[in-house]
Copies of this chain bind each other. A is one copy, B any other.
Amino acid sequence: MSGDPRLARLSLNQATVKRASVAEAVDGCARHGIPAIGLWREPVAEAGLERTRKLVADAGLRVSSLCRGGFLTAADPAGRAAALADNRRAIDEAAELGAACLVLVVGGLPDGDRDLVATRGRMAEVITELADYAAQRRVRLALEPMHPVFCADRGVLSTLAQALDVAEPLAADAVGVVVDALHVWWDPDLDRQVARAGQRIASYQVCDWITPLPADVLLGRGLPGDGHVDFDRLGRLVSAAGYTGDVEVEVFNAEIWAADPDEVLAEMVRRYLTLVLPSLT
C-alpha cells in the first residue's frame, strides 16, 4: 500500500470503530490511507482468522497489534489454567496474523479479594510463564499499564515502572510494554519511565483523557485534542526513547461509535497530523 507518507506510522485500532466488521475496518483504512490496523480478537473470530489474514494482506496493511490477551489474575488453579490456555490461543492468533504484538490487559482483583500485592505477584508469574510460549512463536507480548481508575476491576498493572519491573527479567523481544496516553499521562515519573522503557516500547497508543468522565468510565476517552493530554510532550518522550513503530489511535467512546465511521477516520487522520505526528521523530 502506498499513500500519504505523513501517515506512514498511523494505525487504526479497531476499537475506535467498534461497530465495523474487520472487512469494513480494513476497507476504511485503505480508503483513508491508513497503513496499519490494530485488530481485536472478537471481530477477528467473527470474520475468521484466515479470512482476516487475507483481508489485511490484500489491503497491504500491517497489523500493529492484536488486542487482547490478559486477565491473568485468577487465584484458583482452574481459573489460572483457563487464562493460560486462552492466552496461548491469543498468541497463536497473533502469530497467524503477523501482529507486531499481543496487547495484554492483565486483569483486576478477583471477586472479593483485596490482596493487591498477591494478585500482582500472580500476574507477574503468569506473564513469565507465557513469555516462553510467545518467544517460541515469535510473538511479542505488550504489557499495558492501565490508569489506576481501572486497578480494581480491569488491570492491576498500574504504572509503566511496574510494567517494566515485570518485563525486564524477560527477553525484550518476547515482552514489551504499551505506552497508552490515556493510561500514563498523569504519571509524575513519566519522563524517566518512558526513557527507561526504551526498546521495550512495543506500542504507542493515543487517546485523550476527557472530563467530565461519562457514567461508564471505560468509555471516557476522546480523540487527541478533546481532552487534557499533552501529546506533544508524550510524542517527544516516546521518540527520544527510540520508538519508531506504529501509532495506534484507540478511542472507546459511545458518541464516536455512533458516528459515521468515515467521518471518524477522516477526523482521526486530521488529529493525528496536527497533534500527534509533529512530535514524532
Q: Which A residues contact B (CB, under 8 angstroms)?
A: 109, 114-117, 120, 147-149, 151-153, 158-159, 161-162, 165, 185-189, 209, 211-215, 217, 227-230, 233
Contacts and interface: CB of A to CB of B under 8 A. Distances in A.
Contacts of A153: 211-212
Contact of A117 (B211, B227, B233): B233
The A contact surface, by secondary structure, is: loop
Nearest to A152: B228
B228 A217 contact: no
B116 A230 contact: yes
A115 B209 CA distance: 14
A135 to B, nearest CB: 26
A276 to B, nearest CB: 13
5 contacts: A116-B230, A147-B148, A148-B149, A149-B217, A161-B188
A158 B188 contact: yes
Contacts of A151: 185-186, 209
Of A117, A151, A153, chain B has the most CB atoms within 10 Å of the CB of A151
Contacts of A158: 186-188
